[in-house]
Amino acid sequence: MISDKSIPAAERLIVALDVPRAETARALVEQLGDAVQFYKIGLELFMAGGYFELIDWLVARQKKVFVDLKFFDVPETVRSAVRALASSGASFATVHGNQAIMEAAARGRGEGGTLKILAVTVLTSLDRGDLDDLGFDCDVEKLVLSRARRALLAGVDGIVSSGLEAPLIRRELGEKLLVVTPGIRPVDNKPADDQKRTVDVAQAFRNGADYIVIGRPIRQAADPRAAALAVQRTIAEVFA
């Protein structure tokens, strides 16, 4: 079940820069240094200003960038947005929508470039009760697998999925899609945490994840660099 894709172990950890200002993000990146090679930047920083300058800054430092804006709009608008992003140097971007939206994103990224499109399946902050509220009359696993199959047909490169559903995706779809797993908690989840469907680092990779995304457990650690290095040691052991 462990990923056999030729991904450097040190790049399998993606740190979420979910902070209020670009300056705070840069300071954290500098603090983490060579302990982290891949960063996710999302809506909070997008609204704070300096988003694209931050992408340039990260790329100039040979860091990989995951643009997590979950594009969801009229398909042609999504295609145009992805096309504009494709030359930024970003490695991943997320799309969140139906078949036509995913297909448009796949067209927008073009062929032969570095940008890969990831389709969001079910947010890791949602559980069965949340899906009931949203009107989805099926269990989480069925919904995730359905969306993963549609993503594959749409021509996107991978999916964002909880580590809990990763084994099912690997059993049904093999290694055809990249699997990026957020909601990673190296220790027991805190009661106030908004992530509900979580796994730890080793379990995520043993379940079939290609990459993991970690935010607060590293950002809020007493020593973020030490926390990141501890995660990297676990990853190195899994892929040894």
What are the helix (H) ranges across the chain?
A: 22-32, 43-48, 51-60, 75-85, 99-109, 128-134, 140-154, 166-173, 201-206, 216-219, 224-238
pLDDT tens digits, one per residue of 9-47 = 999 999 999 999 999 999 999 999 999 999 999 999 999
Among 84, 90, 83, smallest CA distance to 66 is for 90
pLDDT score recorded for residue 82: 97
Q: How confident is the model at residue 230 (pLDDT cuts 50, 70, 90)?
A: very high
* Residues whose CB falls within 8 Å of the CB of residue 132, separated by 6 or more in sequence, listed in order: none
Q: Which residue type, as a one-letter code, is found at position 96? A: H
Alpha-carbon span 68 to 158, nearest angstrom: 13
* Residues whose CB falls within 8 Å of the CB of residue 128, separated by 6 or more in sequence, listed in order: 139, 140
Question: DSSP string of 6-74?
Answer: ---GGGSEEEE---S-HHHHHHHHHHHGGG--EEEE-HHHHHHS-HHHHHHHHHHTT-EEEEEEEE-S-
Locate the domains of the chain by residue range.
9-238
Question: What residues are labeled active site?
Answer: 70
pLDDT score recorded for residue 47: 96
pLDDT score recorded for residue 115: 97
pLDDT score recorded for residue 121: 83
pLDDT tens digits, one per residue of 84-131 = 999 999 999 999 989 999 999 999 998 878 999 999 986 555 455 555
Per the CB < 8 A criterion, the answer to whether 230 and 186 are in contact is: yes
Match 């650690």 to its residue by tokens.
221
pLDDT tens digits, one per residue of 127-151 = 555 555 655 556 677 888 888 999 9
Alpha-carbon span 201 to 39, nearest angstrom: 17
Match 């926390």 to its residue by tokens.
227
**Structure tokens of 79?**
């295609």
Q: Which fold has domain 9-238?
A: TIM Barrel (3.20.20)
Bridge partner list, 214: 15
